[in-house]
Structure 1
Amino acid sequence: MTMTASRATGHPGYSETLLRRPESVAVARRLVRCALAAWGMEELADDGAVVVSELVTNAVQHARSEVIRLVVSRPGPATVRIGVVDKSKAPPRHRPPGNQDDSGRGLVLVAGLTAVWGSDPLPWGKRVWGELRRKDSR
């Protein structure tokens, strides 16, 4: 795990390179929970666990590299950003799932739990992210 200080808030950011495997979802959830606990923002832990699970699962299913990068940062005093970087340039597709579909609801969950989410193209891939905010800051 890597820690870097955020210029905006002075709080450390956390990141880790994970293998693109289903087992990495649990590792990602632990990292998000640890970061939120370190920042005293435990009330966001359940939503953060769901958001990171969906973002990492999408990268595991759709990226084409051996590894993905998880970044948990604090761009503001009441905001946490969870991002997953992979080497696929294909943007995430937000599609409504059918009633019988076993998958396809991940980005619907991310959109419902985050204040804002998005995808940033990178020269060699993309970053998909979502921001959680403390309830009392909205």
Structure 2
Amino acid sequence: MTERQGSGSRLRRRLGHTDLSGVGGVRAELGKFLGPRRGAEEVAVAELLLSELVTNALIHTRNGAVVTVTEAPGRLRVEVRDFVPGQEPAPYVPNADDGTHGRGLILVQSLADSWGVTAQALGKVVWFELRGG
């Protein structure tokens, strides 16, 4: 669902807990949503970070996730909400034996202008922001 609000706009999508195939779909929706208003590099970074957060939520919580993307002049905010309380994620440097696992929040921390975790009554929101556009 895409909404226009004043000078900004919003994309919102819910994914079920078994919907790992939906990660690519929501990533493609983000690319279309941002379209020509953002540079290709910024879109690629936003897609990568969104993919990491959604994958984490779907793998680690088993209750699905809600993605909300808010675009305003000079700012893009992406939020991924899950519905499991008490599991606050934290970036860590994985062992070499971990393959490709454990690097998602390190990417978010490295590439986003800001990021964080906000507790909710049920679950939490992991978010990042990119400035520009």
Q: Same fold (TM over 0.5)?
A: yes
State how far apart, in whole Å, the 2-side matches of 1:31 and 1:71 are.
11
Q: Aligned residue for 2:110?
A: 112
Give the C-alpha shift of residue 64 in structure 1. Answer: 2.8
State how far apart, in whole Å, the 2-side matches of 1:3 and 1:86 are.
21
Runs of 4+ deviating beyond 3 Å = none
Cα distance change, pair 97–106 in 1 and its aligned pair in 2 (3 A): same
State how far apart, in whole Å, the 1-side matches of 2:102 and 2:68 are.
23
Pairing partner for 1:88 from 84, 90, 93: 84
State how far apart, in whole Å, the 2-side matches of 1:32 and 1:119 are.
21
Paired residues for 1:37-76 under 5 Å? 37=35, 40-43=37-40, 44-65=42-63, 67-74=64-71, 76=72
Give the C-alpha shift of residue 113 in structure 1. Answer: 1.1
Note the aligned Cα RMSD (angstroms): 1.7
Q: Aligned residue for 1:100?
A: 97
State how far apart, in whole Å, the 2-side matches of 1:55 and 1:13 are.
18
Residue identity over aligned pairs, in percent, reads: 30
5+ residue gaps, structure 2: none
Q: TM-score, normalised by structure 1?
A: 0.86
Q: Aligned residue for 2:10?
A: 13
Q: Aligned residue for 2:120?
A: 122
Q: How many residues align?
A: 129
Cα contact 2:80–2:125 (8 A) shared by 1: yes
State how far apart, in whole Å, the 2-side matches of 1:50 and 1:116 are.
15
Q: TM-score, normalised by structure 2?
A: 0.89
- Provide the secondary structure at the position in 2 that maps to 1:3: strand
Cα contact 2:88–2:117 (8 A) shared by 1: yes
Answer with 109-118 or 76-85: which moved more. Answer: 76-85
State how far apart, in whole Å, the 2-side matches of 1:96 and 1:131 are.
22
5+ residue gaps, structure 1: none
